[in-house]
Amino acid sequence: MLHTLGKTGITVDKVAFGALPIQRVTKEEAVTLLRRALEGGITYFDTARGYTDSEEKLGAAFAHLRDKVYIATKTGATKPEAFWADLETSLRNLGTDHIDVYQFHNPSFVPRPGDGSGLYECMLEAKKQGKILHIGITNHRIGLAEEIVDSGLYETLQYPFSLLASERDRALVTKTAEAGMGFIAMKAMSGGLITDSRAACAFLNGWPVLPIYGVQRPSELEEFLSYGGKDLALTPELEAVIAKDREQLAGGVCRGVGGWWS
């Protein structure tokens, strides 16, 4: 099942690879896992400057296959000099001359032109230089996420979204789609609270989002690959699983980071 990420033109299978957990495996294991993901049809890979050696492992896997994958990474910089240092480090680690989606990593405010931080101006200059292709942002706060969409400044929003999503979260997805933005669903397994991956994928297939699944083990990857390329629909059985999860888990949704199966 394919999904196009807003107006970016990026069209990929609706199973994307979250590369936070590969910090916890060896470089050799990570490269094997990443290349198996690509072989299985996954072409969108999400990492961050703050994920220790995750970028380096992606670079080791894909530097020579750069035209086969889309790579998204993030900066937590709060000043222009730190922004440029992060960007150059990411390019070097990833073994590439450009990043497909470059994202502000969970900032406490919405960077805008002329706000005094200089951060959005950095994004514009990096895009002008061809070092980044699309400007994105991630957040865990619903109020800021809504403000991001209203700003009209970003091509993608990455935000927690799963079968445990609240009505306000669901309204955010609709709002994002109406604005022509790409919505990247992080924490698709709610940091491990959700244990039925088929139910999680079937639910997300019904929404205009690109889910990223944190993968650390080959067995996890094979589960998600088995759903890739398929129009996995909700069945009465899966709807019952979702209803039970919502009843038992809603309110305990993980909006932070660090869940091994996110």
The 10s digit of each residue's pLDDT in 217-259 is 999 999 989 886 667 778 888 889 889 988 888 765 554 544 3
Question: What is residue 80's predicted lDDT score, i.e. its pLDDT?
Answer: 98
The arithmetic mean of pLDDT across residues 30-47, rounded, is 97
CA distance 9 to 27: 31
pLDDT of residue 65 exceeding 90: yes
The arithmetic mean of pLDDT across residues 135-150, rounded, is 97
Q: Which residues contact 256 (CB under 8 A, 6 or more apart)?
A: 140, 191
CA distance 148 to 155: 10
Residue pair 259/189 in contact (Cβ under 8 Å)? The answer is: yes
> Angle, nearest 10°, between helix axes 197-205 and 236-249?
100
The arithmetic mean of pLDDT across residues 63-77, rounded, is 97
The arithmetic mean of pLDDT across residues 20-41, rounded, is 97
Measured torsion, CA atoms of residues 237, 37, 256, 205, in degrees rounded to the nearest 10:
-40
Question: What is residue 233's predicted lDDT score, i.e. its pLDDT?
Answer: 79
The residue type found at 204 is: L
State how far the alpha carbon of 249 is from the alpha carbons of 235, 246, 252, 256, in Å: 21, 5, 5, 16
The arithmetic mean of pLDDT across residues 55-59, rounded, is 98
pLDDT confidence tier of residue 106, bands split at 50, 70 and 90? very high
The arithmetic mean of pLDDT across residues 84-112, rounded, is 98
CA distance 183 to 47: 16
Question: Which tokens is 45 given?
Answer: 């890979």
Query: What is the share, in percent, of the chain residues with pLDDT greater than 70?
Result: 94
Q: 20, 65, 74, 21: which is closest to 43 by C-alpha?
A: 65
Question: What is residue 128's predicted lDDT score, i.e. its pLDDT?
Answer: 98
Question: What is residue 63's predicted lDDT score, i.e. its pLDDT?
Answer: 92
How many of the other CB atoms lie within 10 Å of CB of 193? 18
How many of the other CB atoms lie within 10 Å of CB of 64? 10
Residue 145: half-sphere exposure toward Cβ, Cα within 13 Å? 26
Which neighbouring-strand residues pair with 211?
185
Residue pair 113/87 in contact (Cβ under 8 Å)? The answer is: no
For residue 100, the SS3 value is: strand
* Catalytic-role residue among 44, 51, 70, 159: 51
CA distance 32 to 62: 11
For residue 149, with 0-12 CB atoms within 10 Å meaning exposed, 13-18 middle and 19 or more buried, which class applies? buried
Q: Confirm whether 102 is a catalytic residue.
A: no
Least confident of 35-39, 80-84, 101-105, 190-194: 190-194
The residue type found at 65 is: L
CA distance 188 to 200: 7
Question: Which tokens is 150 given?
Answer: 């209203």
What's the mean pLDDT when you consider all of the chain?
A: 92
Question: What is residue 252's predicted lDDT score, i.e. its pLDDT?
Answer: 55
- Can you say whether the dihedral through the CA atoms of 117, 75, 175, 244 is positive or negative? negative
Question: What is residue 183's predicted lDDT score, i.e. its pLDDT?
Answer: 98
pLDDT confidence tier of residue 29, bands split at 50, 70 and 90? very high
pLDDT of residue 130 exceeding 80: yes
pLDDT of residue 260 exceeding 60: no
